[in-house]
Each structure stands twice: as structure tokens, then as C-alpha cells.
Amino acid sequence: MSTVVLLLITGLGLGALYFLVASGLSLIYGLMGVLNFAHGSFLTISAFLGWEVGRRVSDGTWWGLALSAFIGIAVGAIVAAATEYLLIRRLYERHIEQALVTVGLALASVALFEGIWGTDPIYTAKPAWLSQTTELLGAKIPNDRFLLIACALLVLGGIVLFLQRTRYGLIIRAGVENRAMVTALGIDVRRSFTIVFAIGGAAAGLGGVLASVYYGYVSAHLGSVLLIFAFIVTVIGGLGSLTGAAIASVLVAVLQQFANFYLGGTGDLVVVIALAAVLLVRPRGLMGKVA
Amino acid sequence: MSEPILRVAGLSGRIGGQQVVEDISFEVPAVGITALLGRNGVGKTSTIKSILGLIDRTGSVHFGGIRIDRMPTHRIVQQGVGYVPEDREVFGSLTVAENLRLAERDDRPRREFIERLFPDIHDRRAQRAGTLSGGQQQMVSLARALVNDNRLLLVDEPTKGLAPRIVDEVADALAEAARTVPILLVEQNLHVIRKLAERVVVLSGGRVVFTGDAAELLDDEDRIQRFLGVHDATEGSTR
């Protein structure tokens, strides 16, 4: 029983990380049709800069972590918005060029990060409580899982509130459904594109800082690894669906944890099989719109 | 006659590299309803989309004396153009109220006018637009265009696929709207055209082949057959 609880909550924690990356990917694709392969770079640069600032001010404390999170969110939002404004904006409707630019940016940024911070992981300090465990139904749960889950729930709630309660949220929801018609109502939908990139980048930035807490290190490849699973989550959840991304994040991460434990470390393989199954049975994903 | 509200000259439109509208020119007066007619596939919807910049186009389009053919779609609409697309294109996942709120551009949107014109829609404000009937969705689509104080409405086949009773309701709403704003109306239902349109522009083979009073065309059975490919023997019932 305790093993199941441990795997479940660890899966939820990892799912929280996947969601932080996948939420932005899904919204960006849903509104703009852009498959953003550079999304992992937003996460990595945020993790590095958040760690750099946090460790200089107060390493291994809650204050340092909060500052890292703030810097990560800000860096993610700014870098993502700048990427949209400077690179993606002139390439809308040119999907091959978009893919080439974002793939190129992803590869170049990893090389840049390796040049600045080296190729080896850099181990990070965190508040003592996050390194401890809490007993729950007989399982000793690492406390950092609770932080990840809480942060992902806050982000999910925040994005839902933004989408439901603001005019830009209304424009984004309508744009995901029919972008041309939004334009035909006299709305400059491109402004929303930058906002969606910034929101996605902010979530990924927070995800980067939390990933350094979860894994205990930052590295130039942090974003690339998470991006693969975030893409899988996005496709399984349904491109453009925030709710789908949230559900799929949990399903994929929990499945991965259980398969790793009970099926001899085959978590990644099982996840890819699940992706193939969803694509065969329900190509639009769990909650995606019909193409 | 006063200055036309819309002047289209040498307009051509392309979709995916294929020419769908070819060198058409016509004007829309600043009052009343002008019907854009023609057989199926002749380019009526593409003409509307070309005017709005929703498809690639060349030629000139002047709206209220201002050249708009180099503007992006949202800027054209902001000049005071309301658009009711073919097949309604309401946002199905949004509520009726959200559909209308999204369309509101003016500081003082005409909510009372909409409530009076479409009471049924007002009663269904909290309902998702995707769950409405075709007729109700058409009302939402019309309401989105009428909620602002526009200077021209482009209305594309508003009665398509609707029951006869709903067709009459839509026609009444258009007649009411036309008292305050000129309308360029794409329509196939001769009954509706006869009821609403004062002028007609007829397209054939992607070009304008007739421009003039609606009565002049509709009283000429031979022209109706030739241009539109339909008979109007029993007035009001032939499509």
C-alpha cells in the first residue's frame, strides 16, 4: 500500500512538472498552430538564472527559493515573449519555417548554456524541509512533491481564472476555436499571441526552478528532457486543451512511475506506447478539438 | 445619389493559389440592402472574404472614402464593418453572452437593441452557443454584427439551412437592421431577396454581369434563369 501511495504522489509531483511545461505548449499550439520546440529552452534559462540569483542572495533557504521562482517566472515570460515577437511573429502560417526556427533555437540555446554553465549537472541546495519526508498512509513522501503539486495547482487555477475572467482570456479561448473569426470581429489576435507565449514561458520558467528542486540539479539539458514528455502530454491531452494537458500530465507521470517500479524501469517505453495507442484510437487526444 | 459606402474596383481573390474572384467592380449605396447574387460557387462568399482581407486579394476597396484593401482584417472591421459569415461561425465553446461580449468594440454597445431584436437569444445568455439550434446560432451571429454601431454589414447567406419560420425571423431582423445601416447581402433565397433587397449585383464566372434595381432583375424570369439558374414562378417559394 505504502509503495502505491509513494508512486502515486511521486507521479503527481512529476505530473506537476509536465503540466507546467505542457500548459504553455498546448495553449500556444491551440491558438497559433505553432509547435514550439524552443519551449524547453525557456525552462532551462529560467532554471539557470533563477538558481544564479537565488544562490547569491540566500542559498538553500525559502527566501532564496522564492526569489529563484520569481526570477524564473519573469525570465521565462520575457524570453518567450521576445521569441514570439522577434522570431515567430513573421512566420505565422509558415509551419515548416516555424519548426526550423524553434528547433534551431533549441539546439543553439543548449550549446550556449553548455558554453556558459558547462556540460555537467550543477547540484543545487534547497530548504531543509524539502529534503525531508512526510509519512502518509505508511509511505514516506519527499516533501518537494507537495510543493510541486501545490505550485502546479496554483498555476492551473491562475490560468483558468485568466482565461475565464479577462478579455484576453476570452479572446484566447475564442482564438483556439476559430482564429480567423476572432480577427473578423475586429480584434488584433496577434497581441494575444505574445501574451500566450509569455504565459507559457512563465509557467515553463517556474517549471524550470521546480525541476531543479525535484531533480536536485540544473543542467543545459533540463528543458530538452522535460520537453519530450511535455509534447507527449500535450498530444495525449489534446492540442489546445488546458484541461486535457492537466489530466494527461497526471496520467503520463503516474503511469511512468508505476511502470518504472513494477515493469523493470520501462516507464519511458510505456509512455510512448500509451501515446501510440491514443493516436490510433483517438487522434485528437483526450480533450482536443476535432481537426 | 449619395456617395457609396463601399466601392470595389478590379478586385481579384485567390485561395491556395486558385483564382476564385476575378476583376470585379461594384458599389454599395450608403442606404438599404444590396444583394450579391449568383449561382453556387460563383465567388460570392470569396468576394465578401476578399473585401475583408480574409483571403489574398488584389484590386482596390474603398470604404467610406478610405482605402482599406491594404489593411489587415481587424483594422477593416474596426473602420465600422460588421460581418456575418456563412455557416454562422459562432464560438461553440463560449456562451451566448461571451460571444456577444467578444464582438463588442464600441464604448456603448447596443445591448438594448439586441435584446429587443433577439429576445430568445437574450434568454439564453448563459447557454453555450454550440448547443443552440441553427436558427438561434444565426441570431447570435447577426447580434455580434449589430451590437456595434457599424457603417456597413456584410451578411453571407444568413438563411442557409434554416426552417421557413426562422428564415422569416432572420429576414425581419435584417429589415430592422437595414433601417440604420447599409447591408451587402449574399443570399440564394429569392423570397428573402424580393423582400429585402433594393439593389442587386450579380456575379457569373467570377465577374459582375448585372448591377441595378432588384425589381428589374426579379421581374425578369429569363434573367433569373440565366444568372441564377432558378425559376421564380411561384414568388417566395423558389430557391
Q: For residue B200, tell me if it sits in a domain.
A: yes
Q: A3 Cβ partners below 8 Å, 6+ apart?
A: A139, A261
How many domains, chain B? 1
Amino acid at B94: L
B142 touches chain A (CB under 8 A): no
What is chain B's mean pLDDT, rounded? 90
Confidence of residue A124 (pLDDT cuts 50, 70, 90): very high
Instruction: Give the residue among B49, B70, B46 at the shortest CA–CA distance from B59.
Output: B70
Nearest CA in chain B to A241: B93
Tell me the mean pLDDT in the region B64-82. 96
Chain B nearest CA to A254, separation (Å): 30
Domain enclosing residue B4, as ranges: 1-80+151-159+179-239
The answer to whether A181 contacts B72, with C-beta atoms less than 8 Å apart, is no
In the predicted structure, residue A223 carries a pLDDT above the cut 80: yes
In the predicted structure, residue B239 carries a pLDDT above the cut 50: no
Q: For residue B174, tell me if it sits in a domain.
A: no
Q: For residue A266, tell me if it sits in a domain.
A: no
Using a CB-CB distance cutoff of 8 angstroms, which residues of chain B are in contact with residue A182? 102
Q: For residue B128, tell me if it sits in a domain.
A: no
Q: For residue A233, tell me if it sits in a domain.
A: no
Percent of chain B with pLDDT over 70: 95
d(CA A83, CA A188): 19
Q: For residue A186, tell me if it sits in a domain.
A: yes
pLDDT value at position A240? Answer: 83
Q: For residue A254, tell me if it sits in a domain.
A: no
The answer to whether A186 contacts B105, with C-beta atoms less than 8 Å apart, is yes
Whichever domain contains B52, its CATH number is 3.40.50.300
Chain A nearest CA to B150, separation (Å): 11
Tell me the mean pLDDT in the region A220-226. 94
Chain B nearest CA to A165, separation (Å): 11
In the predicted structure, residue A207 carries a pLDDT above the cut 50: yes
Q: For residue B171, tell me if it sits in a domain.
A: no
The answer to whether A181 contacts B94, with C-beta atoms less than 8 Å apart, is no
Confidence of residue B235 (pLDDT cuts 50, 70, 90): very low
Instruction: Give the residue among A72, A6, A76, A5 at the shortest CA–CA distance from A39.
Output: A76
Sign, Cα dihedral of B209, B215, B220, B221: positive
Amino acid at B72: P
pLDDT in tens, B116-138: 999 999 899 999 999 999 999 99
In the predicted structure, residue B18 carries a pLDDT above the cut 90: no
Q: For residue B123, tell me if it sits in a domain.
A: no
Confidence of residue B231 (pLDDT cuts 50, 70, 90): low
B106 touches chain A (CB under 8 A): no
Question: At residue B124, what are phi and psi to the nearest 5 degrees?
Answer: -110, 30
pLDDT value at position B232? Answer: 55
In the predicted structure, residue A1 carries a pLDDT above the cut 80: no
DSSP-assigned states of every residue in B190-213: HHHHHHH-SEEEEEETTEEEEEEE
Chain A nearest CA to B232, separation (Å): 34
Q: Are A30 and A238 in contact (CB under 8 A)?
A: no
Q: For residue B86, tell me if it sits in a domain.
A: no
pLDDT value at position B1? Answer: 55
Three cell numbers written together for B115: 435584446
Confidence of residue B67 (pLDDT cuts 50, 70, 90): very high
Residue A127's alpha-carbon distances to A44, A45, A50, in angstroms, are 21, 22, 15
In the predicted structure, residue A163 carries a pLDDT above the cut 80: yes
Q: For residue B111, tell me if it sits in a domain.
A: no
pLDDT in tens, B165-210: 889 999 999 999 999 999 999 998 888 999 999 999 999 877 888 9
Tell me the mean pLDDT in the region A141-163. 95
The secondary element (H helix, E strand) that includes residue A141 is strand A139-142
pLDDT value at position A72? Answer: 97
Q: For residue B10, tell me if it sits in a domain.
A: yes
pTM over 0.90: no
Q: For residue A255, tell me if it sits in a domain.
A: no
The more confidently predicted of residues B20 and A10 is A10
Confidence of residue A93 (pLDDT cuts 50, 70, 90): confident
Q: For residue A218, tell me if it sits in a domain.
A: yes
Domain enclosing residue A118, as ranges: 2-222
Q: For residue A241, tell me if it sits in a domain.
A: no
Query: Hey, which residues 218-237 in chain B have their CB within 8 Å of chain A?
Result: none
How many domains, chain A? 1
In the predicted structure, residue B224 carries a pLDDT above the cut 90: no
Q: For residue A290, tell me if it sits in a domain.
A: no
pLDDT value at position A150? Answer: 96
Percent of chain B with pLDDT over 90: 71
The upper half-sphere exposure of residue B136, i.e. CA atoms within 13 Å in the direction of its Cβ, equals: 19
Number of H-type helices and E-type strands within chain A = 12, 4
Confidence of residue A289 (pLDDT cuts 50, 70, 90): low
The answer to whether B102 contacts A187, with C-beta atoms less than 8 Å apart, is yes
